[in-house]
Amino acid sequence: ETGVTQSPTHLIKTRGQQVTLRCSSQSGHNTVSWYQQALGQGPQFIFQYYREEENGRGNFPPRFSGLQFPNYSSELNVNALELDDSALYLCASSLVIQGNTEAFFGQGTRLTVV
Amino acid sequence: EDKVVQSPLSLVVHEGDTVTLNCSYEVTNFRSLLWYKQEKKAPTFLFMLTSSGIEKKSGRLSSILDKKELFSILNITATQTGDSAIYLCAVYTGTASKLTFGTGTRLQVTL
């Protein structure tokens, strides 16, 4: 167990709807990153939050947005869902002080858009 | 654009075999390379490599990084069916601690 919890585990949405995914990071970690993993692919970086501020973003459109709360938990919001948004969404938490530390992943949320 | 390439894409071996998984990278502002094992959903951390030539070892798994040739290998000796999984290689780049992943190597260990 990594101490990173994601909810819900599975979700089915209709094209055009909006979805919110949640992540509780490991205790003491100040950084959370979100990744999208399509079937048969490696995870793709969506964005990262450090101390409640967005700290880097991958090649995802603005309809992907996020938040980090004072307790370092995080949300990923996706508006105007498209069929291609169907994927496993992974949250990773880490403690960034100097340099890099290993990122610990949650179990993911499997999103299906129909 | 940052790129991480893993080979082979998939591999089937018999229990007891030794396997070598490859990861090459072409990125700007390399910081470190990580290996993960993904069985169902959550990738689980195996190794983080920052310096060239220093082998990291954990039980039957070991890994090494070559920063001159821009690659890493993950070795698994005496494979067991429980080693069946997707092995992901990822590189930390830039200041945002962003991980760039390869597509993974799917390893299947048969009896």
Per-residue pLDDT of chain B (111 residues; tens, 9 = 90+): 889 999 999 999 999 999 999 999 999 888 899 999 999 888 999 999 998 989 999 999 999 999 999 999 999 999 999 999 999 999 988 766 788 999 999 999 999
| Alpha carbons A84 and B20: distance in angstroms, whole number | 33
B41 touches chain A (CB under 8 A): yes
Q: Which residues pair with A24 in a beta bridge?
A: A5
Residue range of the domain that includes B7: 3-110
Contact B42 A41 (CB under 8 A): no
Contact A42 B101 (CB under 8 A): yes
For residue A58, what are the CA distances in angstroms to A35, A46, A52, B97, B98? 9, 5, 17, 12, 9
Contact A90 B42 (CB under 8 A): yes
| Alpha carbons B107 and A19: distance in angstroms, whole number | 34
Tally of structural domains, chain B: 1
State pLDDT tens for residues A66-104: 999 988 899 999 999 999 999 999 999 887 665 667 788
CATH of the domain at B89: 2.60.40.10
What chain A residue is nearest to B88 in terms of C-alpha separation?
A: A42
